[in-house]
């Protein structure tokens, strides 16, 4: 009888809801980050500048880097990351915003209950 090997890979899901008090500051910071990226081709830079200027959520996506979240954690290497941002309607008192809701639904599916 053999013991199943445990995967070395772990999926870490993080969901954040942020309140933007100063969209101009977010946009400015994103534009500064884009300007500092000397490896970015000019056409991509123009597209990125337009996107962050028009949409605060896009600006925020340029400022948040998953690597920054785990770069100082010993014993790991980031294998893959993806993230997105979008403007949402948010009511912290609504039961629709239960952060564990998605996890419970996935657990039910894995256990054949969903």
Domain borders along the chain are 23-80
Distance CA 76, CA 53 (A): 35
Give the tens place of pLDDT for each residue, 13-23.
888 889 999 99
Sequence-ordered list of residues with C-beta below 8 angstroms from that of 12, at least 6 positions apart, any chain: 70
Q: Which one, of 59, 55, 66, 51, lies nearest residue 16 by Cα?
A: 66
In the three-class reduction of DSSP (H, G, I as helix; E, B as strand; rest coil), residue 81 is classed as coil
Q: Tell me the whole-structure pTM to 2 decimals.
A: 0.69
* pLDDT tens-digit map of 24-76: 999 999 999 999 999 999 999 999 999 999 999 999 999 998 888 899 999 99
């Amino acid at each position: 009888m053999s013991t199943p090997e445990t995967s070395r890979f772990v999926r870490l899901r993080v969901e954040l809801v942020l309140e933007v008090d100063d969209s101009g500051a977010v946009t400015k910071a994103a534009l500064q980050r884009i300007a500092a990226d000397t490896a970015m081709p000019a056409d991509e830079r123009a597209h990125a500048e337009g996107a962050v200027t028009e949409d605060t959520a896009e600006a925020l996506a340029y400022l948040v880097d998953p690597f920054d979240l785990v770069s100082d954690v010993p014993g790991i290497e980031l294998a893959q990351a993806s993230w997105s941002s979008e403007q949402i309607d948010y009511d912290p008192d609504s039961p629709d915003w239960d952060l564990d809701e998605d996890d419970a639904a996935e657990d039910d599916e894995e256990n054949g209950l969903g």
